Amino acid sequence: MNLSRVARVATGTAIVASALLSPQHESRAQSDAPHQGKIAPLSYLPALDGDYFRVESKAVGRAFHIFASLPQSYDTNGDSTYPIVYVLDGDSLFPIIAPTHLFLNIDYDLPEAVIVGIAYGSFDPSINRRGYDFTVPSPEANASQGGAPTFHSFLVDELIPLVERRYRVDPSRRVLFGQSRGGGMVLYSAFTDPDAFWGRIASNPTFDPGRELFFSTPMKAGRDDLGLVVTSGSNDIQALRKAALEWFSAWDKADDLPWRLHKVTIDGGTHASFSPSSYRTAMLWLFGINER
């Protein structure tokens, strides 16, 4: 256990609690309520503190909001580079995954990492186009689906070069995390461009439309240290659980895959709320750390 980190987290928690109880913070929080024209700074949430910028994607033709949580040692270790984790559905998952990684560093000495949340900035379907961006082109896809190739181009050709010039990261330990539709996007990346990420985590992924891709032979990789973790909650949505078990069975004895494959059932896991459990199990496996 990283005791110095525990002390820093405790101190940060005390500061946040003090700020939350102060009249000044109360008035600021009221003025920073949604749709009132101001944004509360993440510097008051040390587990999420880092950086923010907006990207206008030429590939996708829309804007994305990019949040980065930087390691607590980032400013003091000027020559160090860090693993980097790209989190899809950053609107909801970035505030969950960044603190989860912090706690895994405390409990398991999981290496600190730069956590990057890719957000739409809204849950409004006219803005949040995850149903299009994270789905595979297929005869079964409707007009609001099938944008995975374009979104993957945005990731690889636009976002990753920008982010990895901006922060001190180790591209050889680049991870992609996605849940549900985002998990399907992780699988699309794994099958079509294995070398783009060292590690991938697909949590309760969707397989439709376009499930034929996920049961076909993936593209070959140029390196031999890649890892793919696919998790499925035992209490996931019935159709998704059934599809995951079929996929697990299909690849059970494969020995010529471009990545090491780790298939995991999360006992008692439901569809959405067990994302931290999936992240925990997968990251420890990717980094060769035994669960306790």
Taken in order of first residue, the domains within the chain and their CATH numbers are: 1-43 (no CATH), 47-286 (3.40.50.1820)
Q: What is the pLDDT of residue 208?
A: 95
- CA 255 to chain CA centroid, Å, is 27
Question: In this predicted structure, what is the pLDDT of residue 9?
Answer: 38
Strand, coil or helix: what is 106?
helix
Q: What is the pLDDT of residue 35?
A: 38
Residue 15's pLDDT is 32
Q: What is the pLDDT along the chain (292 residues), one digit of tens a residue?
A: 444 443 443 333 333 333 333 333 333 233 323 334 555 566 788 899 899 999 999 999 999 999 999 999 999 988 899 999 999 999 999 999 999 999 999 999 999 999 999 999 999 999 999 999 999 999 999 999 999 999 999 999 999 999 999 999 999 999 999 999 999 999 999 999 999 999 999 999 999 999 999 999 999 999 999 999 999 999 999 999 999 999 999 999 898 999 999 999 999 999 999 999 999 999 999 999 998 7
Tokens 């099938």, residue located = 146
Residue 232's beta-bridge partner residues?
Answer: 265
Give the pLDDT confidence score for residue 292 in this predicted structure.
72
